[in-house]
Amino acid sequence: MSSSSSAEGGRIERLIQRDGIEPAKAWARRTYGIYRSEILNPESFARAGEYRRRFIESCLAFKRFALQDARRSCEPHGAESRK
């Protein structure tokens, strides 16, 4: 895991401990939207060099976390036992 996503993992973990899982997921979705907007903004520093990579890695960590249980709940009944 890269240092950026492990840093985001730490932030997410602290939010889960402080606020609970659902508020942490809501924060991850909001932050994902903010970061993504900055990546797409041609005037933002988030598009430049190493910053772009870090922002994208963070977006992936936020998205992965926010969708974590949603993917499991979409699986057909019994899919867990086939894995």
Q: What is the per-residue pLDDT across 40-52, written as a single tens digit (0 to 9) for each?
A: 999 999 999 989 9
Decide: helix, strand or coil at residue 33. helix
Q: Report yes or no on 82 lying in a domain.
A: no
Whole-number average pLDDT of the chain: 84
Residue pair 32/40 in contact by the 8 Å Cβ criterion: no
- So what's the pLDDT on residue 69? 73
Q: What is the per-residue pLDDT across 24-38, written as a single tens digit (0 to 9) for each?
A: 999 999 999 999 999
Q: Which of 17, 40, 33, 18 is nearest to 66 (CA)?
A: 33
**For the residues 17-30, what does the mean pLDDT come to?**
97
Q: Report yes or no on 56 lying in a domain.
A: yes
Q: Report yes or no on 80 lying in a domain.
A: no
4 has a pLDDT exceeding 60: no
Decide: helix, strand or coil at residue 41. coil
- So what's the pLDDT on residue 72? 53
Total count of domains within the chain: 1
- So what's the pLDDT on residue 75? 52
Determine the structural domain holding residue 59 and report its residue range: 3-73
Q: Report yes or no on 83 lying in a domain.
A: no
Q: Report yes or no on 78 lying in a domain.
A: no
